[in-house]
């Protein structure tokens, strides 16, 4: 039996500027939603988010995930280099850091660039809103359940002294859950 387990949104977050969704979180009854982001769109989407309020990279990632109802979540490996690029272009600047995280705000040059691309950014936001509208209402429950599993596993392994038999039992429980999920 061929098994395919979706491992988050890594396929398209790894290719952050493309944002193309291949099944998994971005699917709905009508098939693929399509491309959320074309090449270069993320720069202007980030500028639009920063035009509302300064933010650090993690806040931007969460804002994009929330905006799409979980259908798209760019990786830090895409967002932080994009912020550096925007800073190099003079479109954003760093402001106070919270807990070691660099926060960014849009500059006047960034606002000018954003306004020059406003129609494209608005179109991206429409696609994001459509993705959110087609996102399963159960998705937050599933994310919570996956997070619970991750935390429970992490806490158990941090306790140390995990025997080989316990590792086998944990792996068997996760494998059993995967098989049961596949059958749903």
In this predicted structure, the answer to whether residue 13 has a pLDDT above a threshold of 60 is no
Q: Based on the domain organization, do 90 and 165 belong to the same domain?
A: no
In a domain, 1, yes or no: no
Q: Based on the domain organization, do 129 and 43 belong to the same domain?
A: yes
| Closest to 102 measured CA to CA, from 77, 75, 90, 84 | 84
Mean pLDDT over 24-34 rounds to 36
Q: Based on the domain organization, do 94 and 159 belong to the same domain?
A: no
In a domain, 81, yes or no: yes
Q: Based on the domain organization, do 154 and 75 belong to the same domain?
A: no
Mean pLDDT over 32-47 rounds to 77
pTM, rounded to two decimals: 0.56
CATH of the domain at 31: 1.10.10.10
Q: Based on the domain organization, do 73 and 159 belong to the same domain?
A: no
Q: How many domains does the chain have?
A: 2
pLDDT, position 155: 83
pLDDT digits (tens, 9 = 90+) for 99-132: 677 899 999 999 999 999 999 999 998 888 887 7
Instruction: Specify the higher pLDDT residue, 177 or 146.
Output: 177
Q: Based on the domain organization, do 116 and 175 belong to the same domain?
A: no
Q: Based on the domain organization, do 151 and 104 belong to the same domain?
A: no
Highest mean pLDDT (candidates 14-18, 88-92, 172-176): 88-92
| 104-107: Cβ within 8 A, 24+ apart | 104/50, 104/54, 104/55, 104/56, 104/57, 105/50, 105/54, 106/47, 106/50, 106/51
pLDDT, position 137: 54
pLDDT digits (tens, 9 = 90+) for 62-73: 999 888 888 788
pLDDT, position 2: 39
Instruction: Specify the higher pLDDT residue, 21 or 181.
Output: 181
Q: Crossing angle, helix 118-134 and helix 108-116, to 10 degrees? A: 70
pLDDT tier for residue 139 given thresholds of 50, 70 and 90: low
Q: Based on the domain organization, do 92 and 178 belong to the same domain?
A: no
Instruction: Specify the higher pLDDT residue, 90 or 14.
Output: 90
Q: Based on the domain organization, do 154 and 175 belong to the same domain?
A: yes
pLDDT digits (tens, 9 = 90+) for 159-168: 888 899 999 9
Q: Based on the domain organization, do 104 and 25 belong to the same domain?
A: yes
What residues make up the domain containing 163?
A: 141-183
């Amino acid at each position: 039996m061929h098994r395919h387990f979706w491992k988050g949104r890594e396929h398209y977050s790894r290719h952050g500027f493309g944002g193309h969704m291949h099944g998994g979180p971005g699917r709905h009854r009508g098939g693929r939603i399509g491309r959320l982001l074309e090449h270069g769109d993320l720069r202007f989407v980030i500028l639009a988010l920063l035009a509302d309020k300064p933010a650090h990279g993690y806040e931007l990632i969460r804002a994009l995930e929330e905006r799409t109802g979980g259908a798209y979540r760019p990786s830090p490996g895409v967002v932080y280099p994009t912020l550096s690029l925007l800073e190099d272009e003079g479109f954003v600047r760093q402001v106070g850091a919270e807990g070691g995280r660099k926060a960014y705000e849009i500059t006047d040059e960034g606002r000018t660039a954003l306004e020059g691309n406003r129609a494209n950014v608005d179109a991206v936001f429409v696609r994001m809103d459509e993705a959110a509208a087609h996102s399963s209402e159960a998705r937050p429950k599933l994310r919570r359940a996956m997070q619970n599993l991750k935390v429970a596993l992490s806490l158990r392994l941090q306790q140390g002294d995990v025997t080989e038999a316990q590792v086998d039992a944990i792996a068997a429980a996760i494998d059993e859950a995967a098989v049961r999920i596949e059958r749903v």
